[in-house]
C-alpha cells in the first residue's frame, strides 16, 4: 500500500461539483476544477478544513476567475505564463490559519533571490565528466532513487523514499533523468508532465552530498528540458525551496524567470517552507 499520496476527491455542493486534491501530509487542499458558485464550494472546504488540520486552500486559475477567488479571501502568490491552454495560470491561496500565512524567512529568501539572479546566462554550458553517466531512469532504478531521496531530505512533500511510489509515478507521466557514479545513482531530477495543458513541473531534485558542487543538477535539468521540448511541451516551471541558494541558482542559470513565492507551501526537511516559482517557456 502506498502511503501519503494526496487524495483526489469529487465533492458536490448546492448547484455544483468540484474535483479537489486533499494532501494530508502538507495540510493543504488544491481545487483542481469546479462547476457552480465558488462561495458554496468554499463552505464545504472550510468545514472540511476545520476537522482535518488544513492550513491552506489553493488553486491555479485563468485570469477570468481571479476576481471571484479574491472575493473569497484568496491572495495571488504566483503567475505561470501559458500554463492553461496557452493562457497564464494564477496561483491563488487562502490561508486557513494565521500561522500558516506568516513567514519568518523573507529577508533571507530575498537575499537568495538576489544572488540567484546574478547567475543568469545567455547559453547554458555544462562540464563533461567521464566518471558520471547521465541517462533516463527506469522502474528497476526505483530502489536506488528511494534511497537517494531518503538520504537527502528529512521530510519531503511526497513519499519519494518509497520505491513503490516512485514506480507508481513513473507510470503516471513522471520522467526521470539520473546521474550514475560507480553503478550507483548519485543525482536525480524529474519532469512531471501535464499532457492536457502541455506544462511540466521540474521537480524531485536531489544529489548526494559528496557529489554536490559539480554541476550535475544543472546537467540533469538541461537534459530534461531537451526531452520535454522534443515532446512539444510549452512551459516548464519549478518550485524551489526559497532558502536554497543552490537550487535557485540552477534555475536562474537556465534562464527561468521568477514567478512568485508560495508561503509555507511544502512540508520539507522537518518543517513548512516557502517555495519560489521559476518559469521557462520553450
List of long-range contacts for 154-163, beta carbons under 8 Å, 24+ apart: 154/269, 154/270, 155/267, 155/268, 155/269, 155/270, 156/268, 157/23, 157/25, 157/26, 157/266, 157/267, 157/268, 158/4, 158/5, 158/6, 158/25, 159/2, 159/3, 159/4, 159/5, 160/204, 162/2, 162/3
Please report whether residue 2 resides in a domain. no
Residues 39 and 165 in one domain: no
Please report whether residue 61 resides in a domain. yes
Residues 149 and 227 in one domain: yes
Please report whether residue 135 resides in a domain. yes
Residues 186 and 82 in one domain: no
Please report whether residue 90 resides in a domain. yes
Residues 52 and 77 in one domain: yes
* Confidence (pLDDT) at 121: 67
Please report whether residue 81 resides in a domain. yes
Question: Under DSSP, is residue 101 helix (H, G, I), strand (E, B) or coil?
Answer: helix
Instruction: Give the residue-averaged pLDDT of 138-143.
Output: 97
Among 78, 101, 124, the domain-final residue is 101
pLDDT tens-digit map of 3-41: 455 677 899 999 999 999 988 889 999 999 999 999 999
Please report whether residue 35 resides in a domain. yes
Residues 261 and 220 in one domain: yes
Among 85, 101, 117, the domain-final residue is 101
pLDDT above 50 (res 2): no
What's 185's domain CATH number?
3.40.630.30
Domain around 46: 7-101
How many Cα neighbours within 13 Å face the side chain of 133?
9
* Confidence (pLDDT) at 24: 86
As beta bridge partners, residue 56 has 28, 95
* Confidence (pLDDT) at 238: 94
Residues 116 and 37 in one domain: no
Question: Total domain count for the chain?
Answer: 2
* Confidence (pLDDT) at 38: 96
pLDDT above 50 (res 1): no
| pTM score, whole prediction | 0.87
Residues 196 and 113 in one domain: yes
Write down the mean pLDDT value for the chain: 90
Residues 124 and 217 in one domain: yes
> Would you mind telling me the total number of residues written for the chain in this entry?
282
Among 80, 101, 122, the domain-final residue is 101
Residues 25 and 123 in one domain: no
* Confidence (pLDDT) at 240: 92
Residues 222 and 131 in one domain: yes
pLDDT tens-digit map of 177-189: 999 999 999 999 9
CA dist., res. 180 & res. 131, Å (int):
8
Residues 273 and 240 in one domain: yes
pLDDT tens-digit map of 239-277: 999 999 988 998 998 999 999 999 999 888 778 999 999
Residues 31 and 134 in one domain: no
Amino acid at each position: 500500500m502506498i502511503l501519503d499520496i494526496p487524495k483526489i476527491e469529487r465533492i458536490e455542493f448546492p448547484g455544483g461539483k468540484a474535483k479537489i486534491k486533499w494532501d494530508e501530509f502538507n495540510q493543504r487542499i488544491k481545487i483542481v476544477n469546479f462547476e457552480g458558485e465558488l462561495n458554496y464550494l468554499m463552505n464545504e472546504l472550510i468545514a472540511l478544513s476545520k476537522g482535518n488540520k488544513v492550513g491552506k486552500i489553493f488553486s491555479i486559475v485563468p485570469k477570468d476567475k481571479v476576481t471571484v477567488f479574491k472575493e473569497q479571501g484568496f491572495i495571488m502568490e504566483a503567475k505561470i505564463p501559458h500554463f492553461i491552454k496557452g493562457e497564464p495560470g494564477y496561483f491563488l491561496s487562502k490561508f486557513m490559519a494565521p500561522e500558516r500565512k506568516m513567514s519568518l524567512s523573507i529577508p533571507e529568501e530575498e537575499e537568495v533571490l538576489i544572488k540567484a539572479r546574478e547567475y543568469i546566462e545567455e547559453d547554458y554550458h555544462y562540464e563533461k565528466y567521464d566518471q558520471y553517466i547521465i541517462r533516463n531512469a527506469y522502474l528497476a532504478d526505483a530502489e536506488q532513487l528511494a534511497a537517494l531521496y531518503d538520504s537527502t531530505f528529512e521530510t519531503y512533500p511526497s513519499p519519494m523514499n518509497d520505491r513503490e511510489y516512485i514506480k507508481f509515478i513513473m507510470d503516471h507521466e513522471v520522467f526521470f533523468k539520473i546521474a550514475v557514479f560507480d553503478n550507483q545513482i548519485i543525482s536525480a531530477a524529474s519532469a512531471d508532465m501535464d499532457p492536457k495543458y502541455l506544462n511540466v513541473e521540474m521537480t524531485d531534485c536531489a544529489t548526494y552530498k559528496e557529489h554536490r558542487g559539480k554541476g550535475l543538477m544543472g546537467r540533469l535539468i538541461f537534459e530534461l528540458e531537451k526531452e520535454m521540448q522534443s515532446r512539444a511541451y510549452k512551459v516548464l516551471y519549478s518550485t524551489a525551496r526559497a532558502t536554497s541558494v543552490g537550487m535557485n541558482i540552477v534555475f536562474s542559470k537556465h534562464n527561468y524567470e521568477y514567478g512568485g513565492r508560495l508561503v509555507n507551501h511544502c512540508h520539507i526537511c522537518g518543517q513548512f517552507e516557502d517555495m519560489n516559482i521559476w518559469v521557462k517557456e520553450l
